[in-house]
Structure 1
């Protein structure tokens, strides 16, 4: 069994995976090549030997027939030319038998060839005897030749059948061995898949931990078990987590400290200015009254900026994951509109609610802050007596919530940066409503915590901010 603790490197695991899968495949290919080569060679040899045996048998039959014909013709005609023809035929048969004796290793064929050579010698002696004795003897002699030739043919056929059977057996053995080698491939593939899982499993463990870093959760240590390279990455990520946690704590402490240090003297400034503004320290002339109004607006603006900065810092400190419940959009939107009643009435703005879907799964307080910030943005940039639409509609990916205004819209070059902290567009229609540049940033952060997305859309007249991907829900009647 493979010890995966010893094979603690991705390089080693990859090598073992390739070896586990590649070696059986290579061995199977080599065995297949070897067996096919053996079958091919034996097939060629069988075909060659079969052709050789058939040709030898045919030549022997023809030579014996020619020998018999020339011998009988010489016996009848007693012609010198017939004698020479007989002698040439005899030499041809003798040479053919010699070639058969030296060209075969089969014992039965060698025995038949030996007997044929003996009968050929007997024929030679018989042809030298008186003619009166040759007739009957020649008939007997050539019957022996025919019998031996028949035996040679039968043995040749048997030999061909044996070669064919041997080739068939070799082919079957090759098929069985190839099948056995192919059966081992699934086991090799399973082992390779197991090794790949061992390699990828630690990487899968890193994904949710990196996602926690992305969402700003630095409280849990990053730990994985697996290959040394993955563990090294995990250690580096954990070091980065600790550094980010330290920086986040320092930033939070700094913002809290500086905010406190700013709010204390600011409170004194505002109180003193209010006393002057209310003529508590004595009446003011018109110019002095105007100065106190400027100081009052500026100090209020500064206090709003400090509070927005504190809210933004508090938002970043809160965990990314929140419990979601069914939220009815209509009362939530009405509550937000009520909180902005004075701003809406002073500008003569007309809000309209157009809800296609009335309930979503979300964190109610965070969703309220989202709508509040988007509505504040719409109020700032809407023209006098303009219309602000707040609505929702169902999509394939869930529920979308939108807020439209009739302002001038955002420039193209600024649209990619409007969700970054402290980025602001054109001056608000009412200078007193100038924002901090954190509203859209906070809204986008909270939208992502609802597992949704926030995007800007330029309309023919005005702008639209739409929250996409909210999960639809049924209201709990209980």
Structure 2
């Protein structure tokens, strides 16, 4: 058997799962990295920008206080309290400046003017405007700190914008990653399941057809994995079964043809002997001749059924459809089987309603005779076999109900197979297992349907339906 595997089911599942894991972990890794970056930026805003902003604000408050006390000193003509406040503010300013430069040494060069030696003049001016004019040194310091404050605010806004953009980017990447995982997880799973189920459906169809007893057909090979190999193996098995079935059909046809001629000669010889053509026949001899005649008829009937099956399997079943009276068909069938029913103590009951449909009457009569004959065969003495016929606008239905032992549920699907006989009756009831198989072939050839309902211990009912018009 040639190999067809290209990519196994396990490999397909591994690729699908690997792609899903890669997308998931790539998205997760990016989000984790982005969170770390955002945490660093947030830390910089808190430890640098916010701290620096707070320190500059405090230094500016001290310098503003120094300017106010200088003006106060000048306007009041020398206020010792104002001098004390000025010294206190400048001292505190210097302390804050030293602390800030230790935390933020990168501003050492920018604030170099604030750390140089300085001189502040407190002498009153000649005019009021001179007294209100800010001190030049303090004003320079204030300008430097205000510019630093502005730069720090701008830097903090830049970092906040970076945080916003990074958050938006992380949200987008997370959303796209989630959608990709969902699309690959759900969509990929559905697609993979569809491909697997499609191949399994083909194999199941072939197995189901094989289980019904029909001629096994090849299934389509829809994949190159293990299911494709299974389909290929099934096709090889089906081809072998078809060859064996053809060989068996050919053998049966040949055997039936070869046996029919000598069987005819045997029956004619028995008839001649029984008729006394070769001398008088006593009662004991006549008894054995009748047994031989009965067995010859039985063997001839078997050959006829074997030939019927062979013709049907070779699709040579010719139907001669015509308008058929269903009620007449039922009555003529029961008429032929009355003697057999009486011999077995069985009562035949007809409940057929008037109906007309298009079919081959001889073949449908054969189906009815097979079903009623089985009912007679399996119904114990004193039982009944009832045949009903009903009609509807599009179909007619016939049912044959017996009061026999019934058929177990596990055996019901097999009774229409060729040569099959229930294990319980194989040794007690004569038969070939061909009657129901032939009946099914005839009904299917009429585009009808045949089925069985049975409850063990309460008899069986065989029904078939046919199109009213074909």
TM-score by length of 1: 0.68
What residue is the counterpart of 2:401 in the other structure?
Answer: 405
What residue is the counterpart of 1:76 in the other structure?
Answer: 79
What residue is the counterpart of 2:58 in the other structure?
Answer: 59
1:91-130 aligned within 5 A = 91-104=91-104, 111=110, 113-117=111-115, 121-122=117-118, 125-126=119-120
What residue is the counterpart of 1:140 in the other structure?
Answer: 134
Query: Aligned residue pairs: how many?
Result: 446
Structure 1 residues 116 and 331: alpha-carbon distance in aligned structure 2, compared to 1, 3 A threshold: farther
Q: In structure 2, the residue corresponding to 1:388 is in which secondary structure?
A: strand
Q: Distance in 2 between matches of 1:60 and 1:364?
A: 118
What residue is the counterpart of 1:27 in the other structure?
Answer: 26
Residue ranges of structure 1 left out of the alignment (5+ in a row)? none
Structure 1 residues 103 and 446: alpha-carbon distance in aligned structure 2, compared to 1, 3 A threshold: farther
Q: Distance in 2 between matches of 1:306 and 1:275?
A: 23
Residue ranges of structure 2 left out of the alignment (5+ in a row)? none
On the 8 A contact 2:407/2:460 being kept in 1, the answer is: no
Shift of 1:231: 5.2
Question: Alpha carbon RMSD of aligned pairs, Å?
Answer: 5.3
Q: Distance in 1 between matches of 2:388 and 2:191?
A: 54
2:388 matches 1:390: yes
Structure 1 residues 337 and 415: alpha-carbon distance in aligned structure 2, compared to 1, 3 A threshold: farther
Shift of 1:64: 3.8
On the 8 A contact 1:20/1:191 being kept in 2, the answer is: no
What residue is the counterpart of 1:341 in the other structure?
Answer: 335
What residue is the counterpart of 1:249 in the other structure?
Answer: 246
Structure 1 residues 14 and 311: alpha-carbon distance in aligned structure 2, compared to 1, 3 A threshold: same
Q: Distance in 2 between matches of 1:70 and 1:285?
A: 163
Shift of 1:132: 6.6
Shift of 1:244: 2.1
Q: Distance in 2 between matches of 1:6 and 1:335?
A: 57
Q: Distance in 2 between matches of 1:388 and 1:338?
A: 14
Structure 1 residues 373 and 161: alpha-carbon distance in aligned structure 2, compared to 1, 3 A threshold: same
Shift of 1:56: 1.9
What residue is the counterpart of 1:272 in the other structure?
Answer: 269
Structure 1 residues 466 and 459: alpha-carbon distance in aligned structure 2, compared to 1, 3 A threshold: farther
2:169 matches 1:170: no
Q: Deviations over 1:266-297 (max 9, x none)?
A: 33332222223333334434444333333322
TM-score by length of 2: 0.69
Q: In structure 1, the residue corresponding to 2:272 is in which secondary structure?
A: helix
